[in-house]
Structure 1
Amino acid sequence: MGAELSRRSFLAVAGLLGLTTACGSDTGREGSAEGTLRHWYHAYGEDGVQDAVRRYAAAYPGARVEVQWNPGDYDSKVLTALQNSAVPDVFEAQVKVDWVRQRQVVPLDDLLGGTREDFVGTLLESQTVDGALYGIPQAIDTQVLYYRPSLLERAGVAPPRTVDELVEATRRLTAGGVRGLFAGNDGGVGVLTAPLLWSAGLDLLSEDGEAPGFDDPRAATAFGKLRELHQGGGLLLGAPTDWADPGAFVDGLAAMQWTGLWNLPKITEAHGDDVGVLPFPRLDDAGADSVPVGAFSAMVNARSADVDAAKAYVKWLWVEQADHQVEFATAFGAHLPARKSLAERAESLRDGPGRDVVGFVTDSGRIASPARWPARANTALSDAVSRIAREGAGAEGELRAAVEVAKAEIDRQDR
């Protein structure tokens, strides 16, 4: 794929996600930092990320910045910190409406200046609550279905284009020590819930964000397909690593794996040209193919001892330092930069499976974690899907209960 075609592909992605013409960068820095700022990251699986973010922090001229790497349950650790502590000053996450309502994070609109139109518009929207921006996107991530063309050909299986075909392919590709599909050690409950809704033409929230988007009989049909995957015996469970790591696919434990674009370099290093990628397939002609689109964003703790200093650091790193932003997105795995003006530098996505994924984002990208989607609603839906898929519970009754929880949580947010 030539450089010009690559540029057009990224412009197509930008157009889908609401990106418009880039403006000049605002390089003024607000405030000054005294003392130490503490910056939290979750534990990235890609080699080199930790060293890079420590290097960025050390280069910041406005303050001493300590980076904390957080393996394990990062989300719970952030929730606890925001409730009780001035640490961290800066952290990466996806904006949650409850954090805004409880005034645990601060607005960051003033950091963007003339660069606002250079950021992916829909990503900014996903980090916005009540008209204010609470997170600066760091890079664009997505997830896709990886498969081994040679294994599908040997089994006489075509790349699955519907959910039923995925169920059948998972069964037929299971042979010997190889399972048909790996979608996490919970059997896909965590990462396939939203794609299953999208496959049926539904979503977590209604279009206006004021109601659950899965109060529909088609949701029960879609989640029933996950039950069929569990019953078919072709799902890999109990793998040494979970869905976000490519180990199961790289080591030949599964013929297909649902995992992140960030793993593309490791997967192609292991399997060369014997790698294909697909979006999550549609349920039927009334549904849609899809890939989740999301981004960790840099956020500022409202309890920070120096909010202005923390904001100045975020502006320096994620608005002003283009070279750091490009390296972060492209040097340690495959990601799309969060800004149009930097997207052409993502060389790993110019051909092969990377180019295909750019097309999926263009055609079928869906925001993975809306800011207005409540945590308790997510837990209720996830628990319902788990019982449907893993225990054979009745889908209609489980989803009715989850819908009621979601309605109550959405109403609570607006009070």
Structure 2
Amino acid sequence: MNRARDARDWDRRSVLRAVGGVAALGGLAACGSNTGRSGGGGKSIKQMYHAYGEPGTQQAAKKFADAYDKAKVTIEWVPGEYESKLATSLLGSGRPDVFEYHPDLQLVRSKQIVPLDDIIADVKDDFLPEDITANSVDGKIYGIRMIDDPQFFFYRKSLFEDAGVKPPTTFDELIDIAHKLTKGKVKGLYIGQNLKTISKPLVWSNGTHYLTEDHKIAYHTEELEETLTKARELYTSKSLLLGAPTETWDPTSFVQGLCAIQWCGIWAIPAIQKAFGDDFGIFPFPKSGKNGRPVVYNGGWSTYVSAKAKDVDGAKEFVKWLWIEQKKYQQEWALDYGFHIPARKSIAAGADKLKSGIAAEAVELFNSHGIFDDPYWTEGMFNIVLDAVVSSVRDSKNPAAELDKADKKVERDLKKLG
């Protein structure tokens, strides 16, 4: 990315085009197809991944495909805007049979994915209940969690000590500390090229969710309106890093000393530890408003089977083999290429790499403050509210009015989706 980018990166179109979900460390691998072993009596399965940035991930995905002997597995590795590529692929002739994504009601209502209750039934209790709920619609399980990726703020301990500050517990404190840590070429805070990265914790930090348990609007509160006004103050200050060389999923800006605090995820711990040793720490997105709470957003990925797969049963059999039966591969995927929390409780229990230091602290924050995606809150609804957030923060429009407009559009979508 061009470091000369400025606040124009915060416009609506950039926000809505931004890559959702989580990538990881280093440069993205080139797009292309990697073919697994020929076999399975001519059967074939196309599996789609977003381009994880950690070195070795693409090779590992191919290795897993090669090890499957009941079909020829082809890997499509997609850098850039994975969600857009996936949406296009699912509607075209080159659609994947198996793909990774996030829980989304729209995929169920449009009959693009199939339930996976039958293949997960025997090990359902080995997954976190929240991961099961996040992948369930109308009582059926549509996705199998691959990894859990808690996200939080990383900070330089030495810079905090020099400035005489401690990790913030409120959004007001975060803004104040960002000002105090901004010195010379070092900005106090980096939260992304646009607001998409932190918009969910920004909402959740007020103590609410996007929707109630019976799927009514819950995000629009006076506290959120006040938080957006404060976020506008942060945006207009000179303490926010804009035009960074990489997005927040990549810790490069933090490692290069361009900022004192950066939003990122558990996967970045090995790279940051290599750069700074013990001179860094983590803290959750701080609470905002009188009813607020600290937030650790659980990103991560789940695997799904396309309803239009060439062989739905064959695709389900492959998913069961890789993400249920092959615990060795699941452990490798979670722990050998950056850090992720294994989705299976039995595997996580033996994850020694996550049992000490900052990694153990990350797991504790995840257990204490983790918030999971709601499958009934679709990507379309998210973008509607995101547009209101950006209008309020970047354009200084009235938060109450912008959220009122968003409410009408979200209610329309909720009604449409039943």
For 2:142 and 2:178, locate their aligned partners in 1 and report how far apart those are by CA, in whole Å: 41
1:377 pairs with 2:381: yes
1:202 pairs with 2:231: no
Residue type at the aligned position of 2:400: E
Match of 2:357 among 352, 355, 362: 352
SS of the aligned residue for 2:303 comes to: strand
Q: How does 1:9-408 map to 2 (within 5 A)?
A: 34-85=42-93, 87-186=95-194, 189-208=195-214, 210-367=215-372, 369-408=373-412
Gaps of 5+ in 1: 1-31
Q: Aligned residues: percent identity?
A: 39
SS of the aligned residue for 2:196 comes to: helix
Q: 1:86 Cα deviation (Å)?
A: 5.3
Residue type at the aligned position of 1:160: P
For 1:39 and 1:377, locate their aligned partners in 2 and report how far apart those are by CA, in whole Å: 27
SS of the aligned residue for 1:68 comes to: strand
Native 8 Å contact 2:250 2:268 kept in 1: yes
Native 8 Å contact 2:151 2:299 kept in 1: no
Residue type at the aligned position of 1:385: V
Aligned CA-pair RMSD: 1.3
For 2:58 and 2:141, locate their aligned partners in 1 and report how far apart those are by CA, in whole Å: 26
Change (3 A) 1:182 1:33: farther
Native 8 Å contact 2:154 2:264 kept in 1: yes
Aligned length, in residue pairs = 379
Q: 1:267 Cα deviation (Å)?
A: 0.6
For 1:260 and 1:41, locate their aligned partners in 2 and report how far apart those are by CA, in whole Å: 19
Change (3 A) 1:33 1:90: farther
Deviations 1:76-118 (A, max 9, x none): 1111122233521110001211111111111111111321111
For 1:184 and 1:69, locate their aligned partners in 2 and report how far apart those are by CA, in whole Å: 24
Native 8 Å contact 1:279 1:291 kept in 2: yes
For 2:365 and 2:263, locate their aligned partners in 1 and report how far apart those are by CA, in whole Å: 14
Native 8 Å contact 1:214 1:403 kept in 2: no
Deviations 1:295-350 (A, max 9, x none): 31111111111111111100000000000000101111111110111012322221
Q: Which residue of 1 aligns with 2:35?
A: none
For 2:52 and 2:187, locate their aligned partners in 1 and report how far apart those are by CA, in whole Å: 26
Native 8 Å contact 2:227 2:289 kept in 1: no
Q: 1:283 Cα deviation (Å)?
A: 1.2
Moved more, 350-359 or 38-47: 350-359
Change (3 A) 1:272 1:82: same
Q: 1:265 Cα deviation (Å)?
A: 0.6
For 1:285 and 1:413, locate their aligned partners in 2 and report how far apart those are by CA, in whole Å: 33
Q: 1:45 Cα deviation (Å)?
A: 1.2
Moved more, 69-78 or 193-202: 193-202
Q: Which residue of 1 aligns with 2:32?
A: none
Native 8 Å contact 2:223 2:288 kept in 1: no
Residue type at the aligned position of 1:320: E
SS of the aligned residue for 2:149 comes to: strand
Gaps of 5+ in 2: 1-39
